[in-house]
Structure 1
Amino acid sequence: MKISNVELIVVGVPRYTGFVNKHVIVKLFTDEGLTGIGEMSDFSHLPRYAIDVRDLKVGLKQMLVGQNPFDIMKINKELVENFPESMYYYDKGNFVRNGIDNALHDLCAKALDTSVAEMIGGRIREKIKVCYPIFRHRFMDEVEENLDVVRKRYQQGFDVFRLYAGKNLDADEAFLAGVKKEFGSKVKIKSLDFSHLLNWKETLQAIKRLTPYDLGLEMIESPAPRNDFEGLYNIRMKTDYPISEHVWSFRQQYEMLRRDSVDIFNISPIFIGGLTSAKKAAYAAEIANKDCILGTTQELSIGTAAMAHLGSSLVNLRYTSDPTGPELYVGDVVKDKIKYTNGYLHTPNRNVKGLGIELDEAAIQKFQVEDLGWGDATVHQLQDRTALTKA
């Protein structure tokens, strides 16, 4: 079997906040009639430069057409050489590699008449506990809006939430007090995610201020600037809560392991460059006796399905994970959107083929856009993923 063609389709899918996220849907065609699908998720973020999708398609066709899709390691090596890691959180090269690698896994599993989960090692769990994100407060009047998000999502079965904190501590504190007063122990805030906004000393002060409202806190996430490994270590030594950080390059993970900077590695295929790289990062964490969680950049159902297959086989996945992206959008590009039950992402049925996802061509046509540009979006909108235009 050989790859015969590559198709890239840009879609812009609005969130319920009004912010439009752009993703690239990948199709890998073969000379035997099988097609693999993948997702380059959430290009609508900083740094503010866009990939030319037409040029990308030409380059990928030169690389992939004629290749055996089962040569996954060989193809990944070529992808890294052409789209190298840059030690940056939202590395566009990682996004590209993720979409191709996921499509390769989908294609090969279909050829083997099995699921991606079975192909990469089988399953040790049937479902993955996940949390719903509460995006950071910039203004006090957003507190009630976010409390309403908790109310609505709690009614839908989500009882664990993740708070993006650190932008407005007065508002963060008011939100936590409101959750505790209204829900008590029925709702859990699994993490305070500082998203690299503060230095470690500032984060430590924020933790001291916000943890009296502890609602089952599992971890502190990204409590120092990007690649500040000493800062991560310092705060880890000064708080009782486990420290978690995303993995966006193997060099960065090596430095965190070498300096013993974190307790929990936040691993997402989109940030590390696909299922192949995500497995390596998870295995490295396991060898070092570290835990991991599944992270997210708020993928659509294709990318989320890939994470579900991955998470079903990880032995060191012991904390609440993050992938609830499909719940944030007004639509999707698949016929059966990923579903959640009682706050769990269910791992795919053993009988599915590949990722177990079928594209909805009508939905793709509905959301299709020309390019990956941002238009007149502001920096705040790109950072906070909202269409709000408050100054």
Structure 2
Amino acid sequence: MKITDIELHAVGVPRHTGFVNKHVIVKIHTDEGLTGIGEMSDFSHLPMYAVDLNDLKRTLISILIGKNPFDLMKINQELIDSFPEAMYYYEKGSFIRNGIDNALHDLCAKYLDISVSDLLGGRVKEKIKVCYPIFRHRFMDEVEENIEVVRKRYEQGFDVFRLYVGKNLDADEAFLARVKEEFKSKVKIKSYDFSHLLNWKDASRAIKRLTKYDLGLEMIESPAPRNDFEGLYQLRLKTDYPISEHVWSFKQQEEMIKKDAIDIFNISPIFIGGLTSARKAAYAAEVANKGIVLGTTQELSIGTAAMAHLGCSLTNINHTSDPTGPELYVGDVVKNKITYKDGYLHAPDRNVKGLGVEIDEALLEKYRVPDLSWSNVTVHQLQDRTATTKG
């Protein structure tokens, strides 16, 4: 089987907050008549530069055409050479590699008439416990809005939430107090995510304030600037709560292991560059005796399906995970949207080959955008994933 062509389709899908996220849907065609699909998820991140899709397609054609899709390691090495790791959380080269690697796995599994999870070694479970994100408070009047989000999602079966914190601690504290008062033990806040906004000393003071409202807290996420391994280590010594950080390069993961800077690795294919790399990161975490949580950038159903296959094939995920992206959007580009039930992400039917999702061409056309260029958005909108600014 040889790769004969590649398609890249830019789409813009609104979130329920009104913020429009841009993604790239990948199709890889072969001489066997099979097509693999993937997703370069959520290009609407800092830094604010846009990838030129025509130029990207030419580059990917030079790498992929004529290749055997089963040469996953060789192709991934060429992709890393062309789009190298940059020790940065939202490095767009990782997004590109992820979309291609997803599509290659989909293609290889389809050829073998198996699911992607079987290609990854088989399933150890059929579903993953996940949490719904509560986005960062900037203003006190957003507390009531987020309480309403908890009410709505709790009715849908989500009983675990992840809270972005650190921009307005008074509002964060007010929100936690309201959740504890209204929901008591029925709702769990599994993590406080600082998203690198504070230095470790300020984060330490904030943690002391917020952990007065311990609602089943599993971890503290990203409580120091990016790549501040010493800061993570110092904070880890000063709190009883596990410290978690995303993995966005193997060098960064190596440094965190050497420094013993964290307790839990947040591993997501989008940030490390695909299923192939995510599995490597998960195995490294296991060898280092560190915990794992499956992270997210809030993918659509194609990207989330890939994460479900990965998560259900790993033996060492031991914390509530994050992939709830399809629930955050008003639409999608597939016929069979990924399934959530009782707060769990369910893997696609194992009897359906490949990723187990199928592109809906009408929806692909509905959400199509001409390019990945930026509209008039602010840094705050990008960080908080909202369509509006206040004050």
SS in 1 for 2:198: coil
CA RMSD of aligned residues (A): 0.5
Asked whether 1:152 is paired with 2:144, we answer no
Q: What is the letter of the counterpart of residue 327 of structure 1?
A: E
Hey, what does 1:214 align to over in structure 2?
Answer: 214
Hey, what does 2:377 align to over in structure 1?
Answer: 377
Equivalent pair of 1:7/1:57 in contact (CA under 8 Å): yes
> How far did residue 223 of structure 1 move?
0.5
> Alignment length, in residue pairs?
391
> How far did residue 350 of structure 1 move?
1.8
Hey, what does 2:313 align to over in structure 1?
Answer: 313
Cα deviations by residue, 1:49-85 (Å, 9 ceiling, x for unpaired): 1110110011101110110000000000000000000
Distance 1:112 1:264 in 2: 34
SS in 1 for 2:313: coil
Distance 1:123 1:290 in 2: 21
**TM-score, L = length of structure 2:** 0.99
Asked whether 1:88 is paired with 2:74, we answer no
Distance 1:375 1:18 in 2: 13
Hey, what does 1:46 align to over in structure 2?
Answer: 46
Hey, what does 1:13 align to over in structure 2?
Answer: 13
SS in 1 for 2:98: helix
Cα deviations by residue, 1:251-270 (Å, 9 ceiling, x for unpaired): 00000000000110000000
Hey, what does 1:326 align to over in structure 2?
Answer: 326
Distance 1:349 1:262 in 2: 35
Hey, what does 2:105 align to over in structure 1?
Answer: 105
Q: What is the letter of the counterpart of residue 65 of structure 2?
A: V
Q: Which runs of structure 2 are paired with 1:196-235 in the superposition (5 Å)?
A: 196-235=196-235
Q: What is the letter of the counterpart of residue 259 of structure 2?
A: R
Distance 1:317 1:125 in 2: 11
Equivalent pair of 2:338/2:348 in contact (CA under 8 Å): no
Q: What is the letter of the counterpart of residue 319 of structure 2?
A: Y
> How far did residue 126 of structure 1 move?
1.4
> How far did residue 340 of structure 1 move?
0.4
> How far did residue 348 of structure 1 move?
2.4
> How far did residue 349 of structure 1 move?
2.2
SS in 1 for 2:358: coil
User: Stretches of 4+ moved more than 6 A in 1?
Assistant: none
Cα deviations by residue, 1:300-323 (Å, 9 ceiling, x for unpaired): 000000000000011110100000
Equivalent pair of 1:39/1:99 in contact (CA under 8 Å): yes
Hey, what does 2:298 align to over in structure 1?
Answer: 298
Equivalent pair of 1:22/1:44 in contact (CA under 8 Å): yes
Asked whether 1:135 is paired with 2:135, we answer yes
Q: What is the letter of the counterpart of residue 42 of structure 2?
A: D
Q: Which runs of structure 2 are paired with 1:171-250 in the superposition (5 Å)?
A: 171-250=171-250
Q: What is the letter of the counterpart of residue 152 of structure 1?
A: K
**TM-score, L = length of structure 1:** 0.99
Equivalent pair of 1:290/1:316 in contact (CA under 8 Å): no
> How far did residue 3 of structure 1 move?
0.3
Distance 1:349 1:236 in 2: 40
Hey, what does 2:122 align to over in structure 1?
Answer: 122
Identity of aligned residues (%): 77
Cα deviations by residue, 1:364-386 (Å, 9 ceiling, x for unpaired): 00000011111111111111110
Asked whether 1:63 is paired with 2:89, we answer no
Distance 2:27 2:349 in 1: 23
Q: What is the letter of the counterpart of residue 70 of structure 2?
A: F
SS in 1 for 2:124: coil
Cα deviations by residue, 1:312-357 (Å, 9 ceiling, x for unpaired): 0111101000000000000000001111000000122221100001
Distance 2:379 2:263 in 1: 31
Distance 1:374 1:257 in 2: 37
Q: What is the letter of the counterpart of residue 366 of structure 1?
A: K
Equivalent pair of 2:196/2:225 in contact (CA under 8 Å): yes
Which range moves more in the overlay, 118-127 or 164-173? 118-127
Distance 2:124 2:118 in 1: 11
Cα deviations by residue, 1:115-142 (Å, 9 ceiling, x for unpaired): 0000111111111000000000000000
Distance 1:324 1:375 in 2: 25
Distance 2:123 2:295 in 1: 19
Q: Which runs of structure 2 are paired with 1:254-269 in the superposition (5 Å)?
A: 254-269=254-269
Distance 1:176 1:365 in 2: 41
Distance 1:85 1:56 in 2: 17
SS in 2 for 1:312: helix
> How far did residue 36 of structure 1 move?
0.1
Distance 2:131 2:269 in 1: 18
Distance 1:365 1:350 in 2: 28
Distance 1:244 1:217 in 2: 12
Equivalent pair of 1:87/1:252 in contact (CA under 8 Å): yes
Equivalent pair of 2:85/2:93 in contact (CA under 8 Å): yes
SS in 2 for 1:27: strand
Distance 1:31 1:240 in 2: 56
Cα deviations by residue, 1:153-178 (Å, 9 ceiling, x for unpaired): 00000000000000000000000000
Q: Which runs of 5+ in 1 are unaligned?
A: none
Q: What is the letter of the counterpart of residue 313 of structure 2?
A: S
